[in-house]
């Protein structure tokens, strides 16, 4: 039994080192851990010398181990370890992830700093907090950022794979990899080629839906070839619009491009509209709603359904981009009468 924590990072008896850059326990924490490795044993300590305000915004050396729920396809926790640092003052930043070693600029570090600010991660500086014996996804995550000023933000806390900072950090890593031509964190191409797309909104008092539909003209066993737009006014109890068009050439290819450009799948939460009417936010005054279903050629779906305060700026941005295209399609094609 030791006096520190290793947590899979390689470590000595008084701390943890190696694996992610040779972390050492801050002096204020040495000798202060609970000597209890039993399942359920709680470790909680705060380095009193670790600042809760960091003046610099320029990260020069970053290492992390964290988990994040895979929101693409079958849900589950995946783990990520990567480093990004600048060896020389005038040299490039180097990102190391899995077998990749990429020379890049400071964009990823700037994204990481934004995540730190948006999630107030500096408040966890110097914190060690975890419980022994929890499943892998709740084992400690390790976060370490060193600044050009010499300041440091470091914590080792119990994992929470759905935490906002974990989700945002995975997205930032994915963007940086794609920017450098690496698609490791993207779904397979057969999932990314869109073959069906539905989008819904509630902007009180209107409910607007765009959806792939099956009609009597569709061949059994084949994918539907019609798309509809419907608008319902809850206050008047009347249909404002009910238009059906035959899907034009290039429609899904363009939806695929927009899904890639907006990183739509990364914002999918796997939710659909509740089947029970009383649980659905639709029809409830003043509650905005955004939902989509994006199905790949493999028939794997990337679904999102959010409402009220759960709608982020990114949900709104993504939906607006795709909605603009859908509106242009209906503007340019005569609706079939049905």
Encode pLDDT of 198-215 as tens digits.
999 999 999 999 998 877
pTM of the predicted model, to two decimals? 0.56
pLDDT of the residue at 272? 79
pLDDT of the residue at 119? 93
Within this chain, do residues 201 and 308 fall inside the same structural domain, yes or no? yes
- Distance, in Å, from the CA atom of 86 to the CA atom of 91, rounded to the nearest integer, reads 7
28 in a structural domain:
no
9 in a structural domain:
no
Q: Is 93 exposed, middle or buried (0-12, 13-18, 19+ CB in 10 A)?
A: buried
Domain count, the chain: 2
CATH number for the domain spanning 210: value is 3.30.1560
Mean pLDDT throughout 125-131? 91
Within this chain, do residues 146 and 239 fall inside the same structural domain, yes or no? no
Mean pLDDT throughout 232-241? 93
Within this chain, do residues 161 and 253 fall inside the same structural domain, yes or no? no
pLDDT of the residue at 264? 83
Mean pLDDT throughout 167-175? 88
Say yes or no to pLDDT of 6 above 90: no
Across the strands, what pairs with 196? 295
Q: What is the mean pLDDT of the chain?
A: 81
Within this chain, do residues 63 and 152 fall inside the same structural domain, yes or no? yes
Say yes or no to pLDDT of 188 above 80: no
7 in a structural domain:
no
Within this chain, do residues 143 and 235 fall inside the same structural domain, yes or no? no
Encode pLDDT of 89-116 as tens digits.
778 999 999 999 999 999 999 999 999 9
134 in a structural domain:
yes
Say yes or no to pLDDT of 276 above 70: no
Say yes or no to pLDDT of 248 above 60: yes
Higher pLDDT, 186 or 64: 64
Cα–Cα nearest to 318, from 259, 250, 269: 259
Range of the domain at 106: 42-179
Out of 44-48, 140-144, 250-254, pick the least confident: 44-48
State what percent of residues in the chain have pLDDT above 70: 81
Out of 93-97, 179-183, 265-269, pick the least confident: 265-269
90 in a structural domain:
yes
Within this chain, do residues 78 and 175 fall inside the same structural domain, yes or no? yes
- Distance, in Å, from the CA atom of 302 to the CA atom of 272, rounded to the nearest integer, reads 10
Mean pLDDT throughout 169-198? 83
pLDDT of the residue at 36? 52
Long-range CB contacts (within 8 A, 24+) of 113-120? 113/57, 113/58, 113/59, 115/165, 115/168, 115/169, 115/172, 116/145, 116/153, 116/165, 118/164, 118/165, 118/168, 119/163, 119/164, 119/165, 119/168
218 in a structural domain:
yes
Mean pLDDT throughout 301-323? 90
Domain boundary among 115, 150, 179: 179
Say yes or no to pLDDT of 66 above 80: yes
pLDDT of the residue at 39? 60
Q: How many CB atoms lie within 10 A of CB 323?
A: 16
Domain boundary among 115, 148, 179: 179
Mean pLDDT throughout 119-129? 93
Cα–Cα nearest to 20, from 145, 160, 165: 145
Mean pLDDT throughout 242-259? 90
Domain boundary among 136, 152, 179: 179
Q: How many CB atoms lie within 10 A of CB 29?
A: 22
Say yes or no to pLDDT of 275 above 90: no
Mean pLDDT throughout 147-156? 94
- Distance, in Å, from the CA atom of 203 to the CA atom of 235, rounded to the nearest integer, reads 12
Within this chain, do residues 218 and 172 fall inside the same structural domain, yes or no? no
Band of pLDDT at residue 333, cut at 50, 70 and 90 = low
Within this chain, do residues 201 and 316 fall inside the same structural domain, yes or no? yes
Within this chain, do residues 143 and 194 fall inside the same structural domain, yes or no? no
Mean pLDDT throughout 25-38? 46
Band of pLDDT at residue 279, cut at 50, 70 and 90 = confident
Band of pLDDT at residue 220, cut at 50, 70 and 90 = low
19 in a structural domain:
no
pLDDT of the residue at 81? 94
- Distance, in Å, from the CA atom of 301 to the CA atom of 217, rounded to the nearest integer, reads 25
Within this chain, do residues 157 and 259 fall inside the same structural domain, yes or no? no
Within this chain, do residues 153 and 245 fall inside the same structural domain, yes or no? no
103 in a structural domain:
yes
Within this chain, do residues 68 and 128 fall inside the same structural domain, yes or no? yes
Higher pLDDT, 188 or 52: 52
């Amino acid at each position: 039994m030791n006096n520190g924590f290793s947590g899979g990072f390689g470590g000595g008896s008084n701390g943890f080192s190696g694996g992610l850059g040779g972390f050492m326990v801050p002096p204020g924490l040495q000798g202060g851990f609970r000597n209890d490795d039993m399942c359920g044993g709680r470790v909680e300590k705060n380095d009193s010398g670790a600042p809760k305000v960091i003046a610099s915004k320029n990260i020069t050396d970053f290492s992390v181990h964290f988990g994040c729920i895979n929101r693409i396809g079958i849900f589950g926790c995946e783990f990520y370890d990567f480093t990004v640092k600048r060896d020389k003052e005038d040299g490039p930043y180097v990102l190391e992830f899995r077998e990749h070693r990429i020379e890049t600029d400071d964009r990823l570090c700037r994204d990481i700093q934004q995540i730190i600010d948006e999630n107030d991660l500096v408040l966890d500086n110097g914190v060690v907090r975890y419980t022994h014996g929890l499943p892998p996804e709740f084992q400690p995550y390790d976060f370490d950022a060193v600044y050009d000023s010499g300041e440091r933000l470091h914590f080792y806390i119990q994992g929470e794979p759905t935490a906002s900072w974990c989700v945002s950090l995975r997205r930032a890593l994915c963007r940086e990899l794609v920017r450098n031509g690496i698609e490791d964190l993207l779904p397979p191409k057969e999932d990314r080629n869109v073959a069906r797309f539905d989008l819904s909104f509630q902007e009180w008092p209107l409910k607007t839906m765009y959806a792939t539909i099956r009609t009597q003209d569709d061949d059994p066993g084949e994918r539907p070839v019609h798309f509809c737009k419907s608008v319902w006014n809850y206050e008047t109890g009347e249909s404002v619009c009910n238009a059906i068009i035959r899907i034009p050439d290039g429609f899904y290819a363009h939806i695929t491009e927009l899904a890639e450009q907006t990183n739509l799948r990364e914002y999918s939460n796997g939710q659909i509209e509740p089947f029970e009417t009383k649980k659905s936010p639709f029809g409830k005054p003043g509650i905005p709603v955004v939902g989509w279903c994006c199905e790949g050629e493999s028939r794997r779906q990337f679904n999102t359904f959010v409402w009220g305060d759960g709608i982020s700026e990114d949900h709104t941005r993504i939906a607006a981009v795709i909605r603009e295209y859908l509106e242009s399609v209906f503007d340019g094609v005569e609706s079939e009468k049905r």
